[in-house]
């Protein structure tokens, strides 16, 4: 392995792999360092939105994507006293070639992008490379330090892009100031057997004190079960039987006894934060490394990918011609800050108005009657939240050099 590259991308998640694919298609030498041995990690969101599928079209990858096992969700519906109300209708997004949400195991999507990137001669993927810190020359970042099965090593780079998610080592070492927002819940993440007839929705099922989202995967449901922040130990102490009873109430069509041990239930610490600055000399953060997203709305992957598209657009040419300046790096944040702040603000409002009361057991989530009456009378209005979630502000298009 060479000890130098043009762009070192830390983290092979959605942000890192999409960025690396597009830079490699522009002829930039790019090396992705991913700490795990594969992409087969369970605790990744699975929602691919219309805006991302249009991007896959532009990259010439949609047909391959469409062949992956996936479920299609066209609507977000809410069950009120046995009546189903459609609140979000993606099928009304007539401007989108794929007006639905595709639920695709994220490892399949990442494998696809990594395979497409491997076709480019300037792309390198280093699995089991855990980045432990940044190399510096004075104030300038000049590469990364890592550990791998072969021991410790260093990789020098013109630019380091931190795409290493919510616990980013890159942003920590760079000392970029972070703004944290309180989140009222954590997530228990586990599987349950899947009944093919069962209804699933992007809108959570709720009971006073509880909320969950069911993600359909081949042969099972992935469940995201919301618990009040910090209550993990106390809830586990009540025992598995109490948990089984709650699940029976919330998902009568599945079999909670399939969870035989607390080891089957993973605790995910949910965070919502944002860097005030996304770059320093020689480094940049994008995706969750720049702004950790709550799972609410299932938008984090799509936002991370949009960051990657913007970054590729601003950085490919200066990287290729070795004329990269701080101005190019600052342009990425300038382009992406509005959609980021808007999305996080909506998530924070939903945490406050919809989830806090539910998790405190004060009420089951239920949209106000006025909202239910309005969507019944004017169903076309359901296209508005569909656009906000499925397309979002300032949607990104693939730069010409990345299109196939």
Ligand X SMILES: Cc1cc2nc3c(=O)[nH]c(=O)nc-3n(C[C@H](O)[C@H](O)[C@H](O)COP(=O)(O)OP(=O)(O)OC[C@H]3O[C@@H](n4cnc5c(N)ncnc54)[C@H](O)[C@@H]3O)c2cc1C
Identity of the residue, 295 or 375, whose beta carbon is nearer to ligand X in the bound complex: 295
Does position 73 interact with ligand X (CB under 6 A)? The reply is: no
Q: Which of 176, 293, 309, 375 binds ligand X (CB under 6 A)?
A: 293
User: What residues have CB less than 8 Å from 357, skipping those under 6 apart?
Assistant: 363, 365
Identity of the residue, 15 or 319, whose beta carbon is nearer to ligand X in the bound complex: 15
User: What residues have CB less than 8 Å from 228, skipping those under 6 apart?
Assistant: 184, 185, 186, 359, 360
* DSSP-assigned letter for residue 107: H
The size of the chain, in residues, is 404
Q: Strand, helix or coil at 119?
A: coil
Identity of the residue, 158 or 186, whose beta carbon is nearer to ligand X in the bound complex: 186
* DSSP-assigned letter for residue 95: T
Does position 35 interact with ligand X (CB under 6 A)? The reply is: yes
Q: Return the residues of window 119-138 that contact ligand X according to CB under 6 A.
A: 130-131
Does position 76 interact with ligand X (CB under 6 A)? The reply is: no
Identity of the residue, 226 or 375, whose beta carbon is nearer to ligand X in the bound complex: 226
Q: Which of 8, 15, 155, 174 binds ligand X (CB under 6 A)?
A: 15
10: Cα within 13 Å, side-chain hemisphere: 35
Q: Which of 6, 254, 302, 344 binds ligand X (CB under 6 A)?
A: 302
Stretch that binds ligand X, among 248-256, 283-291, 382-390, 395-403 (CB under 6 A): 283-291
User: What residues have CB less than 8 Å from 45, skipping those under 6 apart?
Assistant: 106, 215, 295, 298, 300, 301
Q: Which helix (H) or strand (E) holds 73?
A: strand 71-73
Q: Which of 30, 250, 251, 299 binds ligand X (CB under 6 A)?
A: 299
Q: Smallest distance, Å, CB 43 to ligand X? A: 6
Of 243, 241, 221, the residue nearest 231 (C-alpha): 243
Stretch that binds ligand X, among 34-42, 248-256, 338-346, 377-385 (CB under 6 A): 34-42
Q: Which helix (H) or strand (E) holds 103?
A: strand 101-103
Q: Smallest distance, Å, CB 33 to ligand X? A: 5
Of 283, 330, 298, 284, the residue nearest 142 (C-alpha): 283
Does position 173 interact with ligand X (CB under 6 A)? The reply is: no
Would strands 178-181 and 272-275 be described as parallel, antiparallel, or unpaired? antiparallel
Burial of 94 (0-12, 13-18, 19+ CB in 10 A): exposed
Euclidean distance between CA atoms 78 and 353, whole angstroms? 16
Q: Which of 24, 30, 33, 113 binds ligand X (CB under 6 A)?
A: 33
Identity of the residue, 50 or 298, whose beta carbon is nearer to ligand X in the bound complex: 298
Q: Which two tokens stand for residue 175?
A: 């000392």
> Total number of residues binding ligand X (CB under 6 A)?
37
Stretch that binds ligand X, among 245-253, 286-294, 310-318, 355-363 (CB under 6 A): 286-294
Q: Smallest distance, Å, CB 256 to ligand X? A: 20
Stretch that binds ligand X, among 39-47, 63-71, 78-86, 93-101 (CB under 6 A): 39-47
Place of tokens 């940044």: 134
Query: What residues make contact with ligand X under the rule CB under 6 A?
Result: 10-16, 33-36, 44-47, 130-131, 163-166, 169, 187, 224, 268, 270, 287-289, 293, 295, 298-302, 304
């Amino acid at each position: 392995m060479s000890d130098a590259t043009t762009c070192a991308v830390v983290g092979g998640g959605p942000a890192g792999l999409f960025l690396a694919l597009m830079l490699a298609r522009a002829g930039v030498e790019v090396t992705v360092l991913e700490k795990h041995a594969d992409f087969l990690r369970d605790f990744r969101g699975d929602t691919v939105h219309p805006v991302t599928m249009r991007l896959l079209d532009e990259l010439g990858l949609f047909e391959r994507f469409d062949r992956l096992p996936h479920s299609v969700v066209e609507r977000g519906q809410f069950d009120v006293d046995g009546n189903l109300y459609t609140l979000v209708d993606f099928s009304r997004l007539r401007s989108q070639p794929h007006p639905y949400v595709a639920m695709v195991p994220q490892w399949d999507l990442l494998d696809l992008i990594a395979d497409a990137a491997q076709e480019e001669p300037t792309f390198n993927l280093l699995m089991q490379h855990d980045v432990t810190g940044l190399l510096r020359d004075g104030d300038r970042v000049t590469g990364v330090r890592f550990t791998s099965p072969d021991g410790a090593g260093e990789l020098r780079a013109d630019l380091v892009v931190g795409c290493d998610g919510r616990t980013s080592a890159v942003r920590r070492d760079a000392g970029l100031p972070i703004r944290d927002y309180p989140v009222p819940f954590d997530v228990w993440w586990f599987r349950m057997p899947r009944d093919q007839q069962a209804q699933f929705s992007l809108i959570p099922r709720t009971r006073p004190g509880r909320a969950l989202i069911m993600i359909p995967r081949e042969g099972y449901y992935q469940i995201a079960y919301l618990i009040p922040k910090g209550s993990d130990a106390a809830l586990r102490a009540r025992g598995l039987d109490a948990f089984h009873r709650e699940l029976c109430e919330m998902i009568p069509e599945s079999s909670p006894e399939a969870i035989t041990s607390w080891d089957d239930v993973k605790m995910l610490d949910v965070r919502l934060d944002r860097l005030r600055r996304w770059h320093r000399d020689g480094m940049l953060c994008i995706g969750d490394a720049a702004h950790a997203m709550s799972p609410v709305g299932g938008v984090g992957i799509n936002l991370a990918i949009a960051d990657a598209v913007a970054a590729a657009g601003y950085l490919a040419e200066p990287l290729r011609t070795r004329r990269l300046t701080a101005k190019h790096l600052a342009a990425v944040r300038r382009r992406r800050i509005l959609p980021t702040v808007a999305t996080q603000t909506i998530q924070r409002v939903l945490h406050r108005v919809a989830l806090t009361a539910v998790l405190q057991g004060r009420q089951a989530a239920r949209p106000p009657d006025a909202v239910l009456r309005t969507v019944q009378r004017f169903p076309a209005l359901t296209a508005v939240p569909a656009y906000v979630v499925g397309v979002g502000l300032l949607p990104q298009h693939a730069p010409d050099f990345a299109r196939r």
